[in-house]
Amino acid sequence: MKFTKMQGTGNDFILVDARKLEADWTRLAVAMCERHFGVGADGLILVLDSKVADFRMRIFNADGSEAEMCGNGLRCFAKYVIEQGLAPKDSRELTVETLAGINRVRPQVVGGSVASVQVGMGVPKLKATEIPVLAGAVDRVLDYPLIVDGREVRVTCVSMGNPHAVCFVDQSVADFPLAELGPKVEHHPIFPNRVNFEVACVLNRTQIEGRVWERGVGETLACGSGACAIAVAARLHDYVGNEIDITLPGGVLRLAWDGVGEVLLGGPAETVFEGVW
């Protein structure tokens, strides 16, 4: 089976054209994503045919669980289908079916290669029942006092097709004990489907730094939907305007949200290497 290893701001994936393949993808994701005995990645992405969009994307986390969608993964997906000749080289927009719905991706093609991709990440869901989070039937879950190991962590919850909990801090995010608290927030009983956990520090009204504990993966160098969740949460608190740059350990992502419509995510996607499993 041929595969391509790709990364978007350090969030890395194994991409496979699975349109004519069948496999136990959960088991295969665990094996291939293992960083010592496998290829090594945060997730396995499958390219599939779709009846309602140009393509369908399935993504399996490193622990074998299937995720609803992934912003960084979508950017890599768009680069893959164009550069592999599955979509026209001059594509200005592609539609991709995911478990979270249909996403529109807009590649910037330079010299036959995809230099960057902007992804329409959809309209964020803010109601507790839609995220989901067991915080009552409230319109918005803002600064909810979550108790983790006797420590209060205030989280603002957002769904970008997958659940997120964002904690804003005053100090550098590098000092936050994410490795310790991340898994405990992820598996907290208030989140019935588990949760992606982000810690963020607002530097000014156009810049934020953040780190992400990704559900089913652990800490990642970047997370597209996580960056979107940070942007939405910051906008809800009026910390930022409509456009911001979010610096994650793997690089910078450009976010735009007007407070009403869909969130736009822009950033790079790179091919690392190709191989055969």
- At 59-73, the pLDDT tens digits run 999 999 999 999 999
Q: In angstroms, rounded to a whole number, what is the distance separating the alpha carbons of residues 111 and 52?
A: 30
Residue with more model confidence, 165 or 112: 165
Helix or strand holding residue 76 (H, E): helix 71-83
Long-range (24+ apart) CB contacts under 8 A made by 189-193 are 189/134, 190/133, 190/134, 190/135, 190/146, 191/132, 191/133, 191/134, 191/163, 191/165, 192/132, 192/134, 193/132, 193/163
Share of residues in the chain with pLDDT > 70 (%): 100
Q: Inform me whether the pLDDT recorded for 23 exceeds 90.
A: yes
Q: Which amino acid is at 273?
A: F
* CATH class name, domain 144-261: alpha beta
Distance of CA 142 to the CA centre of its chain: 21
Number of C-beta neighbours around residue 214 at 10 A: 26
Model confidence over 75-106: pLDDT tens digits? 999 999 999 999 998 899 999 999 999 999 99
Q: In angstroms, rounded to a whole number, what is the distance separating the alpha carbons of residues 191 and 204?
A: 30
Q: Which amino acid is at 129?
A: T
Q: In angstroms, rounded to a whole number, what is the distance separating the alpha carbons of residues 33 and 15?
A: 11
Q: Inform me whether the pLDDT recorded for 112 exceeds 90.
A: no
Confirm if 114 and 268 have CB atoms less than 8 A apart: no
> Can you read off the two tokens belonging to residue 206?
């156009």
Q: Which amino acid is at 81?
A: V
Q: In angstroms, rounded to a whole number, what is the distance separating the alpha carbons of residues 277 and 273?
A: 13
Residue 33: active-site member? no
Q: Which of 121, 82, 83 lies closest to 102, judged by CA?
A: 121
Identify the active-site residue in 33, 70, 76, 167.
70
Confirm if 210 and 173 have CB atoms less than 8 A apart: yes
What are the boundaries of each domain within the chain? 2-121+267-276, 144-261
Residue 201: active-site member? no
Q: What is the CATH number of domain 2-121+267-276?
A: 3.10.310.10
Helix or strand holding residue 227 (H, E): helix 224-236
What mean pLDDT comes out for the span 5-10? 96
Identify the active-site residue in 33, 167, 201, 223.
223
Model confidence over 171-202: pLDDT tens digits? 999 999 999 999 999 999 999 999 999 999 99
Residue 207: phi, psi to the nearest 5?
A: -140, 135
Q: In angstroms, rounded to a whole number, what is the distance separating the alpha carbons of residues 230 and 52?
A: 30
